[in-house]
Amino acid sequence: MSFEHLFTPHRIRGLEIRNRIFSSSHQTILARDWCPTEEMAAYHEARAAGGAGLIVMEAACTWGEGDFESSYIDASRDACIPGFRKCADAAHRHGCKMFGQISNGGRLAGGYEGLRAVPNSPSTVPDHRFYAMPRAMPTEDVWKLIEAYADSARRMMEAGLDGIELAASHGLQLAQFLSPDVNRRDDEFGGSEEKRFRFVREVVVAVRKAIGPDPVIGIRISADEDEPSGLDAETVLAACRRMDALDDVDFLSIVLGSMAELGSSAHVVPPMSFEHCYTAPHAAAIKGVFSRSILVTGRINQPQMAEQILAEGQADMCGMTRAMICDPQMPNKARLGKLDDIRACVGCNQTCIGHYHQGVPISCFQNPLSGRELRLGEHPKAATPRNILVAGGGPGGMKAAAVAAERGHRVVLCEKSRRLGGQVLLAQTLPGREEFGGCVDNLKREMELAGVEVRLNTSVDTALIDEEKPDAIIIATGATPFACDAVIADDTHAVEAWQVLRGEVEIGNSVVIADWRGDWIGMGLAEKLARDGCRVRLAVSGIHAGQNLQMYIRDTGVARLHRLGVEIIPYARLYGADGDTAYFHHMAGSDPIVCEGMDTLVLSQGHQPEIALEQSLRGSDLEIHLVGDCLSPRSAEEAVYEGLMAARKV
């Protein structure tokens, strides 16, 4: 495919950007002591070296937010300048431009050391996600905040960044001033549309004065906050018309959603259940009222998609952030026509935004090197090629095989079934999870490029090992459904979740799902069976459905279950079943929970490690490495990471 638009330069103000691909602002948890670090610089350098045209750094906080965790950047003090300079230099070494983003949460306040911060907002209007009651800023504090934006921008320019992005997206402070619901002021910053816009205008004017006439200034804004009290599309369009009248605003970066409400916050990092490129039509609408550059991001994970957006004139640049977390070399591969070699993001949210919500550094389950560039670096070449046997063709085994072969070893991977993929093949059968299967294609390609020999329908046993004589074996045999200790009578129609996913059993009209783990299996089965017309009761042992899923996946999934009429029963541990009745006890109080009128009981009670091969090799002199669920059943993230690390050890 030829990319007539994607790899053409784009000029914003006087700045020429080498192509139309950018990495949008996203938190990495790589800051330390409120400053950018060597680790952060190395993370961004990998994307710059991979061919990105522009990187917008993560949100930097400024005055007025109270205390916050030291893993955020504090741009209100000069100590941040050396770290910003490291990041700018890292990007510039590879011809990539870099902007800083200045953000203020307003009523969306966090905290520090377990204490809740004092949120400062236009008015005392709470949000519906963090449950913070903000303090309405006195007028003099609004002016202080305006100057704080300018001071932060000055520091970023002193560090050598190429431009400034002001965050008015996702319900943040600038958006709060624009909102007639949140901004209920009666001073010069509220009371009319023009006065509500004044804060944005004064911030832009102050920033331009602080940084001079040449650097780029842009605003990131949600085209629609998609929440009951949020900015709607009409209000945003009106604000964008006013922004067009500000000569100092050089670009708008378009997203959707708001962090002030659970459902709309999913737009911050839309999971795979959202359509690809779904934000592009919103960007096109704003392009109709804003005469300068329009950037857009939101589920654009393939260069072909970005090319189409550009060709249709919906935007001037495309944010492909997760695509480059998954494969930093994606732009270079696309430019060279190596589309099949791109490791495509599948929108799982597990290790990028999922890590952020856990308070740990960013990574990617398909590419564990992301976020670990300094600690792991490139895979070291093997001093002496060895014969490596990998048992199991799930994600962990495939990653282990690919990396070991890439290092120079001779690798044979054996999979006992007729297909590679392991439990991914089950996951992709559920509603909204189809794209997850793409990771299997990605890993297949990695193995192909590395020269792995793959043998399907081949079990690894001692006879095969004696025949192959490997120098080391990596065992990635996975797991099987766990046989829980609940007492299930013979007259109960009880089936395993895997049987349902494989289409091996008939399901009655009234279904109870006993979900121990609280992950994608129980919720996905509930949605699948409800869509098939069943009455579904999802009994979860945790405090809510999807307890162990990344929150955007969980919340959007719960919303779908609600629309489908699925009954969710929390705190329910399966005790037994007979006939048409399932018995649970309440996890917090041990009171009985009884589900009657059941045709089928679906058991989703977790997994147990498959250890037969490991046991058969105990006592042998063979070098053995265990990977993934055969150690302990967890997720694809652990399997792939352990596969990579095992391959680096052999």
The letter for the amino acid at 574 is L
The letter for the amino acid at 39 is E
Pair 259, 108: CB distance under 8 Å: yes
* Dist. CA 249–CA 149, nearest whole Å: 15
Q: In what order do the strands lie in the sheet with 592-595?
A: 487-488, 572-578, 581-586, 592-595
Which backbone phi and psi does 488 adopt, to 5 degrees? -110, 115
* Dist. CA 110–CA 116, nearest whole Å: 6
**Residue 550 CB-half CA count within 13 A:** 23
- The pLDDT tens digits for 394-419 are 999 999 999 999 999 999 999 999 99
- The pLDDT tens digits for 142-193 are 999 999 999 999 999 999 999 999 999 999 999 999 999 999 999 999 999 9
> Residue 66 pLDDT > 70, yes or no?
no
Could you tell me the domains of the chain? 10-375 (3.20.20.70), 381-481+609-649 (3.40.50.720), 487-605 (3.50.50.60)
Count CB-CB contacts under 10 A for residue 197: 20
* Dist. CA 112–CA 109, nearest whole Å: 10
> Residue 428 pLDDT > 70, yes or no?
yes
Q: Pairing state of beta strands 10-12 and 15-17?
A: antiparallel
The closest of 476, 338, 313 to 399, measured between CA atoms, is: 476
> Residue 68 pLDDT > 90, yes or no?
no
pTM recorded for the entire structure = 0.97
> Residue 104 pLDDT > 90, yes or no?
yes
Which backbone phi and psi does 328 adopt, to 5 degrees? -55, -25
Give the per-residue pLDDT at 133: 93
Mean pLDDT of 643-647: 98
DSSP code string of 231-293: --HHHHHHHHHHHHT-TT--EEEEE--BTTBHHHHGGGS--TTSPTTTTHHHHHHHHTT--SE
> Residue 130 pLDDT > 70, yes or no?
yes
Query: What are the CA-CA distances from residue 253 to residues 9, 56, 169, 219, 581 (Å)?
Result: 18, 11, 9, 6, 54
> Residue 64 pLDDT > 70, yes or no?
no
> Residue 65 pLDDT > 90, yes or no?
no
Pair 557, 272: CB distance under 8 Å: no
